[in-house]
Structure 1
């Protein structure tokens, strides 16, 4: 087992801090007067800066604490990106790990773009960030999972990560294919987008205790 230095531990802590993303989703959702649906509503609706009638969900979108969402998503993205730069020593020194961590940097920066640009006021930048963050995050999760799966110590975790990435990719395909229509948009989006963030949190907690190298 190698000793984990301060920079590497900082990276792991940054990944664990991505968990605030999920906590604040519930906090912001709780401030809605119109019921918010995880099946229908887009994640981005929580960060909408104005109130508007959504054709996709057939109801008003109005998020009083939208600023909290924007800050949370931006922070999560920066923590993901910075953490990926620092936790390299926790992963095997193989191409899949190096490529996966690089893609996690890209994913984090794209998520920060999403947080800084609400869906209703700077839509083009918001969509661009989401279009990059979700599929790139899935590939990053797959590669880092495969890298860990090659080790005896973290074989099971790696397989779970790779499997989760595949599930997320299938959900993204169903989202793009509009399976279930608007009634299931929010569900597919969450299954596609959440796994990579959960993956970072789990790795940030688990790997420093027993690095894979």
Structure 2
């Protein structure tokens, strides 16, 4: 996830005309040609380092799919958890597709990738709040649900053209970034050792020793 934001900054900094988080889509960074784009908002797009951005999309998607596959211990058992993880992995597939099919080269495939990211991925994020394992902290589960609600709401507003003063690019980021933030937090938790305690046991108490000679 960190590489995505680092590459995002690098690629946008290469633009001759300043790149705007409010006026430009994330996908604009990966466009292969310099041209005036009219949909959904008029803007001139010219991304000299588009290849780096598309490679970052592919790397991000691959890592997301692998991460979901390797975090089985963080999930409850059952088919609902399996479906949730497949939906989240779908977002990873969407990022890979977006990187392989820039919006100005293969628009339909790119749009499909975006739908997988902000559609199925955010549905999975919403469901994840109830499907994370019981040993995952309550605040994290509640935060997951809140992020899912926020991202899905923003996606609906983005599709309907209601940007609430954030601009097209700003609303798109509210729809896309919660999933990335969640993946970073949950992935970091999965890498850290967790303390476990067998149910019904109590911590051992130190045994006092009588000093010798008494």
* TM-score of the alignment, normalized to the shorter chain, above 0.5: yes
| TM-score (norm. length: structure 1) | 0.84
Q: Which residue of structure 1 lines up, in the alignment, with residue 124 of structure 2?
A: 140
1:168-183 paired onto structure 2 within 5 Å: 168-180=151-163
Q: Which residue of structure 1 lines up, in the alignment, with residue 53 of structure 2?
A: 69
1:124 lines up with 2:91 in the alignment: no
Q: Which residue of structure 2 lines up, in the alignment, with residue 39 of structure 1?
A: 22
List, as ranges, runs of 4+ consecutive aligned residues in structure 1 with deviation greater than 3 Å.
56-59, 180-183
Structure 1 residues 183 and 59, CA gap change in structure 2 (3 angstroms): farther
| TM-score (norm. length: structure 2) | 0.83
Q: Which residue of structure 2 lines up, in the alignment, with residue 101 of structure 1?
A: 85
Structure 1 residues 205 and 59, CA gap change in structure 2 (3 angstroms): same
Contact persistence 1:146–1:158 (CA under 8 A): yes
Deviations along 1:52-81, whole A, 9 cap, x unmatched? 012244432000100000000011001111
Instruction: Kindly name which structure, 1 or 2, has the bigger radius of gyration based on alpha carbons.
Output: 2
**How far did residue 152 of structure 1 move?**
5.5
Gaps of at least 5 residues in structure 2 are 198-214
Measure, in 2, the Cα distance between the counterparts of 1:125 and 1:112.
Answer: 11
Structure 1 residues 78 and 51, CA gap change in structure 2 (3 angstroms): same
**How far did residue 183 of structure 1 move?**
7.2
Gaps of at least 5 residues in structure 1 are 1-17
State the superposition RMSD in angstroms: 2.2
Q: Which residue of structure 2 lines up, in the alignment, with residue 20 of structure 1?
A: 3
Q: Which has the higher helix share?
A: 1
